Each structure stands twice: as C-alpha cells, then as structure tokens.
Amino acid sequence: MPMMNNIQAVNDALMYEMEKDKSVMVLGEDVAQIGGVFRGTSGLLDKFGSERVVDTPLSENGIIGTSVGLALNGMKPVAEIQFSGFIYAGYDQLVSHASRLRQRSMGRFHVPLVVRMPNGGGVRALEHHSESYETIFIHVPGLKVVYPCTPSDVKGLLTSSIRDPDPVVFLEHIKLYRSFREEVPEGEYTVPIGKGRIARKGKDVTIVAWGAMVNVSLEAAKKLEQNDIEAEVIDLRTLKPLDKGIILDSVKRTGRAVIVEESQRISGYASYLSAIIGEQCLLYLKAPVSRVSGYDIKFPLYRLEEKYLPGPESVIHAVNNIMSF
C-alpha cells in the first residue's frame, strides 16, 4: 500500500470517486487552477475538466448555495471552504436549506453534499485560520459531521461522505495535513460514518478525542505508561452521528474518563459527552469526568497559540487528578 499524508489521502479519495462516478464534482475558491490552498484538489482539473472542477468567486454563501442547487439536480458536489473560519456567511445555506430539504420535502428530495474545510490551529496562521467551532455544525439537525485523524481514515471517510445521500461537514485538521504518513489502501476503500476506533487499548482510564487531539492523547498515554497507568484512547472519527457504544463500553471497563478537545470550553462537545457518560455510566465511575480544552477566548495569534492548545502535559495532569480522586 502507498504511504500518504492526510492531504494526499484527500486527493486520492477525490480522484477515485470522480473517476467512478461522473456526478461527483468539486467547487470552491482556487480548487481548479491552483489545486486548492493546501493542494487537496491538485490535478483534478487536468483529469476531469472545468465542468467538474470549478473555481468560484470569493463567496462562501455562493459556494454552498450553488452546491445545494447542484445536489438537488443530480450532482454530488464536494465544496471546499478554504478555512473553517470563513464558513459563517455560508452557514446560513447549511442551516436554512441543506440540512432541511429532506424533511421540508417529506423525503422527496435530499442533498448529497460534502463541505470540506480545514479546521483547528497549531500552524501559526492568521486570524480566522485556526478556529475549531465544530459544535456549530453538530448542533444542526440534518447535518453529519466527520472529523478524521489518520490518512487512511481521511480517505475512507471522505469516500463514504461523498456516497452519503445527505449533507456531510468534513473537517480536516490543518496541522495533520502533512504531519505524518501511513499506509493507505489503494482503490476502493471506505470507513463507515458513525463508527469510532480504539487507537490504544488500556484498562485504567478512557481518553476520548478527535482530530489533532487524538495524537496529543496518544502521546500522553505513552508517557503515562511510564507511571504504570494504562490509558485507553478513543478516536471518535465521526462527531455526528456519535458512536456512543465505544465510549460507554470503555468507561464501564476503566471507570474513569478524560475528554480532550481543542475548541473553547463553554458548550464544547466535551460537555455533551460528559453528560452522556454521567447519565449512562454513573454507577461505574470511580471519579468525576474530566475535560481538557482550549480557553474561552478567540484563538490567539502565533506567539500564544501553544499556550492555548491542549498538549500532552495537560492531558497527563487531568489523568493524574482523576486517578488520585
């Protein structure tokens, strides 16, 4: 199997699906001539032509609105938003139309649309280029939200998202694009939406994470092992629909849970996960559920971003606290 990083896995999935299905197309700012700001769509224009690989004006509202119309008329658009911090103008189209049309039409119409966007921080980018507001999509009924960590999951889940009959928000962590490689299956390869994975097995504490926080948690787990603490790390892969079973089964075995997220603490996804664990695992818990998160501020510019982002030491501190509860 070829070795790929995350952005190569994005490109590989798009190449395969566009070859297989002529209704799949991509559109967004600079996706055609330049190949996308991170080169995720590089080479698509030459292979599939300007009717299926479309550069758009600088209008996120227009990109998603046009994609909804294309989806209603038989296409499977994959829209690229250059950074998730630019989505707000297009958010109205996602909430008011893409997410509602199946219910609004009583099942007569559906919107097979994927909206890809880089998300998160850690690469010393500018304002609006490092945000991690995944909860604003999770909260909207009718949207699926996928957030893979590894290259093979990027390919498998992007392929599944393109084939899904309903709108999917596909978040790609900006720091993971070129940070590591792994073997990725060639050709046909899918990973089911809504299924998490155990990234590391353990018996003492469950650490739940997604996106770049999976690798942060794995690094923490490796260091905790030196103190005879075996941490189980769960990579959610899909935030909605949520694989509750993999979380609850693990917490019932370990009796302890730490949830790690990059976004702000108030109303973060970790709050929801903590509530689920409290409601369904209360009698199994040996300590309160702990959350590790960013701070309730705008994402800082590069001099302070390492102080904002949760790191392995923050996770280790949280684990040690609940282990000694």
Starting at the earlier edge strand, list the strands of the sheet with 231-235: 197-200, 231-235, 205-209, 257-260, 290-292
What's the pLDDT score for residue 84?
A: 93
Residues 6+ apart with CB under 8 A from 21: 76, 162
Does 42 have pLDDT greater than 90? yes
Does 128 have pLDDT greater than 90? no
The whole-number average pLDDT for the span 271-275 is: 98
Closest CA to 14 of 79, 93, 99: 79
What's the pLDDT score for residue 303?
A: 86
Does 259 have pLDDT greater than 90? yes
Which tokens sit at 267? 């109303």
Establish whether 97 is a catalytic residue. Answer: no
The whole-number average pLDDT for the span 306-321 is: 96
Which tokens sit at 123? 């690469």
Q: Which residues of 87-101 are buried (b: 16+ CB within 10 A; e: fewer)?
A: beebbebbbebbbbb
The CA angle 302-314-151, to the nearest 5 degrees, is: 70
76 φ/ψ angles, rounded to the nearest 5 degrees: -120, 80
What's the pLDDT score for residue 166?
A: 97
The whole-number average pLDDT for the span 231-254 is: 98
**CA 292 to mean position of chain CA atoms:** 18
- CA dist., res. 217 & res. 200, Å (int): 10
Handedness of CA 158, 159, 160, 162 (dihedral sign): positive
Task: Kindly name the residue from 97, 110, 128, 129 that is annotated as catalytic.
Answer: 129
Position 136 confidence tier, pLDDT thresholds 50, 70, 90: very high
What's the pLDDT score for residue 270?
A: 98
Does 95 have pLDDT greater than 90? yes
Position 301 confidence tier, pLDDT thresholds 50, 70, 90: confident
Closest CA to 161 of 120, 203, 113, 205: 113
The whole-number average pLDDT for the span 296-305 is: 89
